[in-house]
Structure 1
Amino acid sequence: MCGRYAATKDPATLAAEFDAVDLTEDAPRADYNVAPTKSVVAIVQRHPRDAEGDVDESTTERSLRVMKWGLVPAWAKDASIGSRMINARSESAAEKPAFKTSLARRRCILPADGWYEWRRDGKVKQPFYTTPQDGSSLAMAGLWSAWHDKADSAAPVLITCSVLTTDAIGPLSEIHHRMPLLLGPDAWSRWLDPDSQDVAELLAPPSAELVAALELRPVTTAVNSVRNNGPELLARYEPVPDVAEPDLFSVEAT
């Protein structure tokens, strides 16, 4: 699964990297410990609307938007369900009521510097950070939804998202059996295309070449607490053999 990640690049950098327009307005600041229910930056591609609100079907616009991590389906009675919808399994999302509409019509990319995962070794949970070796952003496949509070018609529309996961491959499978569904640049346009509902071929685990370009780095258990947030969380930490690092914090929201 993906329950924690790092996203530190500013919107201008992401807009250039993903060839998108920055429409975030109030984007979240650099976050080295992104946790569920936080606001995150997502990339979508939609048909723009003119000044009268009419949709221009002849073109599309790729843009950066701010969403809340934890998808709230349009039919949900209240927004609290979102905390349980941070991930969607790529193998079954098309059949799940919470995700099938978003998979068909509301797909996004969640850019990340890297993600955290924990390997259990007896009573010890060792966190690892996975990040591209070349410093580029990961493109995690995501789904999004718009939710209206029927009990408060004046409340703003809540835009939420979920990270798609898949079977871990290669050395990543030695840490955890699941991983985010990563998209290579050649798949971005097809994944974001608002006029395409069939993306089955893009739901397979990433290629061995894409995974080989990642660095798998052990890090300190300070990342276990969402209260900790800073570049030191990304630093390589090599546990002393046979001496477990003191687990000072309980793992939250993983």
Structure 2
Amino acid sequence: MCGRMNISDHEGIHEFLIDLKLPLDWLSPPEVKQKDFAAGFNVAPGSFLKAIYAVENKFHSTVMQWGITPSWTATKENKLPNKLMYARAETVWQKKSFANLIEKQRVVIPINGFYEWHRESNVRQPFYFSPRKTGVCFLAGLFSIVENNKLQCCVLTNVAGDLMASIHHRSPVIIDPESLHEWLFESDFEKLTKIMDNTNESLLRTFEVSSYVNNTRNGGESCIIPLKTREEPIQKKLF
């Protein structure tokens, strides 16, 4: 799916967005300090992410917290366990938590890569996924405006394709740069559904990394050092 993110190459992301003529102002609410921005090799749910959305035919960039609090959730403390980190593309039009958001409140989240874990018995083996060519990829997401105009977002997922399927049954929806404008500005149900149906796994590569990344307190380049290159499906390795 997308358990954690790597958002460490700020310069690379910056240059990539410039090439695509996307905004870089990253407006954020006053309560979000610079130190709160997700910046590292092991970014976990609940972090503040830089995201791009569209309003009135213009791109905008801002900071949003990863995790949407459903409007029907009754909680005073607004704790992380009550938040939705992901939304299923297949049911997003029907779910009351997301139906209004998919129509008008879509985002892309620029990242350098993400992690997912393969479970076998009691062992959780992390895999790192990253773009084959560009160094930057865009996760499709939704955003919500909550109390005091705070912005929250979640990541859209769909059924895993060939690359991800042997590791996890869900894959994040990756937006091809050529589809950015359509994803953020389009309103047609069929066109948006078609975009979400393509997880664009062909844009990615993957390899196993150390369990060092399992601990959210760990960071640095050690998180993405290849443990070994996956040359065949996991199922074949296990027997």
* TM-score normalised by L of structure 2: 0.82
Is the deviation greater in 129-138 or in 4-13? 4-13
Tell me the residue number matched to 2:88.
Answer: 89
Offset of residue 166 of structure 1? 0.6
| Aligned with 1:222 (options 191, 209, 212) | 212
Tell me how far apart the structure 2 counterparts of residues 139 and 236 of structure 1 sit (CA, whole Å).
22
Q: Verify: 1:203 aligned to 2:193, yes or no.
A: no
Give 2:170's match in structure 1, choosing from 175, 178, 189: 178
- Partner of residue 38, structure 1: 47
Segments of 5+ residues of structure 2 without an aligned counterpart are 28-32, 230-239
Identify the residue that residue 235 of structure 2 maps to in structure 1.
none
Determine helix, strand or coil for the equivalent of 1:228.
coil
Q: Which has the greater radius of gyration?
A: 1
CA contact (8 A) 1:37 1:83 kept: no
Once the two structures are superposed, residues 36-74 of structure 1 have per-residue CA deviations (whole angstroms, 9 ceiling, x without a partner) of 111001111112xxxxxxxxxxxx221221000001245
Q: Map of 1:1-254 to 2, 5 A cutoff?
A: 1-10=1-10, 12-13=14-15, 15-25=17-27, 28=37, 30-47=39-56, 60-74=57-71, 76-78=73-75, 79-80=78-79, 83-148=82-147, 156-193=148-185, 196=187, 198=189, 199-206=192-199, 210-238=200-228
What SS does structure 1 have at the residue aligned with 2:187?
Answer: coil
- The 1:14–1:63 alpha-carbon spacing in structure 2 relative to 1, beyond 3 Å, is farther
Measure how far apart 1:136 and its partner are: 2.8
List, as ranges, runs of 4+ consecutive aligned residues in structure 1 with deviation greater than 6 Å: none
Give the letter aligned to residue 14 of structure 2.
A
Residue 175 of structure 2: SS of its match in structure 1? coil
* 1:67 partner amino acid: M
**Greater percentage in helix:** 2
- Quote the Cα distance in structure 2 between the aligned partners of 1:85 and 1:236: 30
Match of 1:153 in 2: none
Aligned equivalents of 2:19, 2:165: Cα separation in 1: 28
Q: Which runs of 5+ in 1 are unaligned?
A: 48-59, 149-155, 240-254
Secondary structure at 1:163's aligned position in 2?
A: strand
Cα RMSD for the two superposed structures: 2.2
Q: Give the Cα–Cα distance (whole angstroms) in 1 for the partners of residues 69 and 52 of structure 2.
A: 18
Pair 1:64–1:128, CA change in 2 (3 A): same
Instruction: Say if 1:37 and 1:17 are closer, same or farther in 2 by CA, change over 3 A.
Output: farther
Q: Which moved more, 1:213-222 or 1:67-76?
A: 67-76
**Could you tell me how far apart the structure 2 residues matched to 1:109 and 1:128 are?**
22
Deviation of 1:23 after TM superposition, in Å, equals 2.5
Deviation at 1:122, TM superposition (A): 2.5
Deviation for aligned residue 1:197: 5.1
Distance 1:6 1:17, change over 3 A: farther
Structure 2 CA distance for aligned equivalents of residues 31 and 14 of structure 1: 18
Residue identity over aligned pairs, in percent, reads 28
Q: Is the 8 Å Cα contact of residues 6 and 33 (structure 1) preserved in structure 2?
A: yes
SS across alignment from 2:228: coil
Indicate if the aligned counterparts of 2:38 and 2:48 stay in contact, CA closer than 8 A: no
| d(CA) in 2 for partners of 1:119, 1:126 | 5
In the alignment, the residues of structure 2 paired with residue 104 and residue 117 of structure 1 have an alpha-carbon distance, to the nearest angstrom, of: 28
CA distance in structure 2 between the partners assigned to 1:235 and 1:183 by the alignment: 25
